[in-house]
Structure 1
Amino acid sequence: MRVIFTTWAWPSHLYAMVPLAWALRAAGHEVLVATQPELLETVRHTGLPAAAVGRDVDALAAFHAIAFPPSAPPGKGARGGPRVVGLFAAIAEAMAPELVALGRGWRADLIVSEPTCLAGPVAAAALGVPHVRHLFGTDLLGNAGPFLHQALGPLCDRLGLPGVDLAGAATVDPWPSGLQAPAPSRRIPLRYVPFNGPGRLPRPLPGGEGSGLPRVCVTWGTTPARVDKRLFLAGRVARALAGRARVVLAVTAEQRSLLGELPPDAYVVESAPLHLLLPRCAAVVCHGGAGTVLTALAQGLPLLLIPCLPDHVRHSAAVAGAGAGVALPAGTGDPEVIAAALPDVLACGAAADGLRAELAARPSPAAVARELETLVQLADR
Structure 2
Amino acid sequence: MRVLFTTWAWPSHLYALVPLAWACRSAGHEVLVVSQPELLPLIERTGLPGAAVGKDVDGAGMVRGYVLPSEDDPTADRRAPRAGKGPRALRMFTAHADSMVEGTAETARRWRADVVVSEPTALAGPLAAAAAGIPAVRLLYGADLMARARPLLPEALAPLAERVGVDPEGYDPFGAVTIDPCPPGFQAPDPAGHPRLPMRYVPFNGPGTPPDPPLPPPAPGIRRAVVTWGHTMARLDPALFLAGHAARALAALPGTETVLAVTAAQRPLLGEVPDGVRVVTDAPLHTVLGDADLVVAHGGAGTVLTGLRAGAPLLLVPQLPDHAGHAARVLAAGAGEVLTRDEADAERLRDAAAGLLDPERGAERRAAARTLRDGMLAQPAPASLVGELEERVVACAA
TM superposition score category, shorter chain reference: over 0.9
Do residues 380 (structure 1) and 397 (structure 2) align?
Answer: yes
State how far apart, in whole Å, the 1-side matches of 2:245 and 2:70 are.
25
State how far apart, in whole Å, the 1-side matches of 2:50 and 2:68 are.
34
User: What SS is found at the alignment partner of 1:47?
Assistant: coil
Q: Which residue of 2 aligns with 1:30?
A: 30
- Which residue, out of 265, 268, 272, partners 2:279? 268
- Which residue, out of 135, 139, 151, partners 2:140? 135
Q: Say if 1:71 and 1:263 are closer, same or farther in 2 by CA, change over 3 A.
A: closer
Give CA deviations for 1:84-122 in whole Å, capped at 9, x if unaligned. 111111111100101111111111110000000000011
Do residues 57 (structure 1) and 57 (structure 2) align?
Answer: yes
Give CA deviations for 1:30-54 in whole Å, capped at 9, x if unaligned. 1100111000010001110000000
Q: Which residue of 2 aligns with 1:177?
A: 184
What displacement does 1:177 show?
2.8
CA contact (8 A) 2:74 2:237 kept: no
Q: Which residue of 2 aligns with 1:318?
A: 329
CA contact (8 A) 1:142 1:184 kept: no
Which shows bigger deviation, 73-82 or 195-204?
A: 73-82
Q: Aligned ranges for residues 89-100 of structure 1 at < 5 Å?
A: 89-100=94-105
TM-score normalised to structure 1 length: 0.95
State how far apart, in whole Å, the 1-side matches of 2:218 and 2:53 are.
50
Give CA deviations for 1:240-259 in whole Å, capped at 9, x if unaligned. 11121211000000000000
State how far apart, in whole Å, the 1-side matches of 2:291 and 2:219 are.
10
Q: Aligned ranges for residues 278-317 of structure 1 at < 5 Å?
A: 278-317=289-328
User: What SS is found at the alignment partner of 2:296?
Assistant: strand
State how far apart, in whole Å, the 2-side matches of 1:68 and 1:324 are.
23
Give CA deviations for 1:229-275 in whole Å, capped at 9, x if unaligned. 11110000001111212110000000000000011000000000111
Give CA deviations for 1:55-101 in whole Å, capped at 9, x if unaligned. 01011111112116699946999986664111111111100101111
State how far apart, in whole Å, the 2-side matches of 1:32 and 1:189 are.
23
User: What SS is found at the alignment partner of 1:67?
Assistant: coil
CA contact (8 A) 2:299 2:318 kept: yes
Q: Aligned ranges for residues 1-381 of structure 1 at < 5 Å?
A: 1-67=1-67, 73=73, 83-163=88-168, 164-180=171-187, 181-182=189-190, 184-202=193-211, 203-205=213-215, 209-210=219-220, 212-244=221-253, 245-330=256-341, 332-346=343-357, 347=362, 348-381=365-398
Amino acid in the other structure paired with 2:386: A
CA contact (8 A) 1:67 1:74 kept: no
Which shows bigger deviation, 307-316 or 343-352?
A: 343-352
State how far apart, in whole Å, the 1-side matches of 2:67 and 2:219 are.
39
Instruction: Let me know the Cα RMSD of the aligned residues.
Output: 2.1
What displacement does 1:343 show?
3.0
State how far apart, in whole Å, the 2-side matches of 1:61 and 1:113 are.
23
Identical columns (%)? 53
Amino acid in the other structure paired with 2:391: T
Amino acid in the other structure paired with 2:289: L
State how far apart, in whole Å, the 1-side matches of 2:32 and 2:125 are.
13
User: What SS is found at the alignment partner of 1:280?
Assistant: coil
Q: Say if 1:143 and 1:82 are closer, same or farther in 2 by CA, change over 3 A.
A: closer
Unaligned runs of 5+ in 2: none
State how far apart, in whole Å, the 2-side matches of 1:188 and 1:75 are.
38
The total of aligned residue pairs comes to: 380
State how far apart, in whole Å, the 2-side matches of 1:376 and 1:75 are.
45
Amino acid in the other structure paired with 1:329: T
Give CA deviations for 1:256-310 in whole Å, capped at 9, x if unaligned. 0000001100000000011111112211000011111111111111110111100
CA contact (8 A) 1:306 1:331 kept: no
TM-score normalised to structure 2 length: 0.91
State how far apart, in whole Å, the 1-side matches of 2:284 and 2:313 are.
19
State how far apart, in whole Å, the 2-side matches of 1:34 and 1:356 are.
31
CA contact (8 A) 1:114 1:136 kept: yes
Amino acid in the other structure paired with 1:376: V
What displacement does 1:200 show?
2.0
User: What SS is found at the alignment partner of 1:177?
Assistant: coil
State how far apart, in whole Å, the 1-side matches of 2:242 and 2:88 are.
25
CA contact (8 A) 1:78 1:309 kept: no
Q: Say if 1:148 and 1:275 are closer, same or farther in 2 by CA, change over 3 A.
A: same
CA contact (8 A) 1:11 1:39 kept: yes
